[in-house]
Amino acid sequence: MFKGSFPALITPFKNGKVDDKGLKDLVEWHISMGSNGLVPVGTTGESPTLSHEEHMHVIKIVVDTAAGRIPVIAGAGSNNTTEAISLLQFAKDAGADAGLVVTPYYNKPTQRGLIAHYTALNEVGLPIIIYNIPSRSVIDMTPQTMGELAKLDNIIGVKDATGDVARVSLQRQYCGKDFIQLSGEDATAHGFNAQGGVGCISVTANVAPALCSALQAATAAGDFATALEIQDKLMPLHSAIFTEPGLVGAKYGMYLLGKDTGEVRLPLTELLPETKTLIKEGMRHAGLIN
């Protein structure tokens, strides 16, 4: 179920509020373009600036609109274990297929603390994808710790945003070959799969869902030459989108495709003109716009 290209879905806004119709349209578009699943209310979905009510509202819309056609991994992370349990329980009750749970940020738990955090979340009964992103959370879950958590019934995989493809092999060693490893970094997704990964939770897939899905399909078939050709098409866009915070770049790319997803919420701001130019050039290189 959890293989292939999973857009880390942006949250469209209109007049400062979640744009329900725009969100439903995005879900339908991604399904039609071949995305293999969706990940609402992650950081790319502006979860830090959504209220709890908005967060839950977005999950419900995405789950209901997808209607079982593709899996939904709902963002459910917090540096407060009680809050994370509440968000994960809501995702389960709403019908999400799994929860994406980031390592607790800012309060910097030890590896023992990480084990305690995810062990508590395991009791909710919804499959959990660990989100390991040291650049944002400031802590790094070791492969050994992940191996301990992989013994729990509901800890089924990881979104690995370390950018270190060697981690895939180490995590296979400690977690087993069936542990689901999804890349959290677009630029290394090709190499990540060559090491044993099975997909990518992708920012770029917001803008280039068909290409990202095709790359994942090629690697799954063992056709890494074709996948590399697609990667070459996408690489300038990957770089451009992340010149500034990726979700802002993704929303601008959507605008260029005629899908106006609205403003971003402060403290994020509109892109600089030179960044917009880079994204346009990257999209032209990928054949997404003329």
CATH for 185: 3.20.20.70
Q: What is the mean pLDDT of residues 208-234?
A: 98
Neighbours of 232 (CB within 10 A): 12
Tell me, yes or no, if 17 is annotated catalytic. no
66 within some domain:
yes
CA distances from 28 to 5, 32, 37, 42, 157 (A): 15, 6, 11, 19, 26
**How far is the C-alpha of 250 from the C-alpha of 256, rounded, in Å?**
10
Q: Which of 159, 233, 251, 276 is catalytic?
A: 159
Q: What is the mean pLDDT of residues 23-43?
A: 98
pLDDT of residue 8: 98
pTM above 0.85, yes or no: yes
For 91-119, b/e burial (b = at least 16 CB within 10 A) is bbebbbbbbbbbbbbeeebeeeebbebbe
106 within some domain:
yes
Q: Which of 60, 92, 118, 131 is catalytic?
A: 131
pLDDT tens digits for 153-198? 999 999 999 999 999 999 999 999 999 999 999 999 999 999 999 9
Six token digits for residue 149? 């958590």
Instruction: Tell me which residue range forms the domain holding 178.
Output: 4-221
C-alpha 247: how far from its chain's center?
11
268 within some domain:
no
The answer to whether the CB of 102 falls within 8 A of the CB of 83 is no
147 within some domain:
yes
246 within some domain:
no
What domain count does the chain have? Answer: 1
| DSSP-assigned beta bridge partners for residue 39 | 8
DSSP run (H or E) holding 194: helix 189-194
Classified as helix, coil or strand, 170 is: helix
pLDDT of residue 142: 98
Tell me, yes or no, if 280 is annotated catalytic. no
Six token digits for residue 18? 């979640």
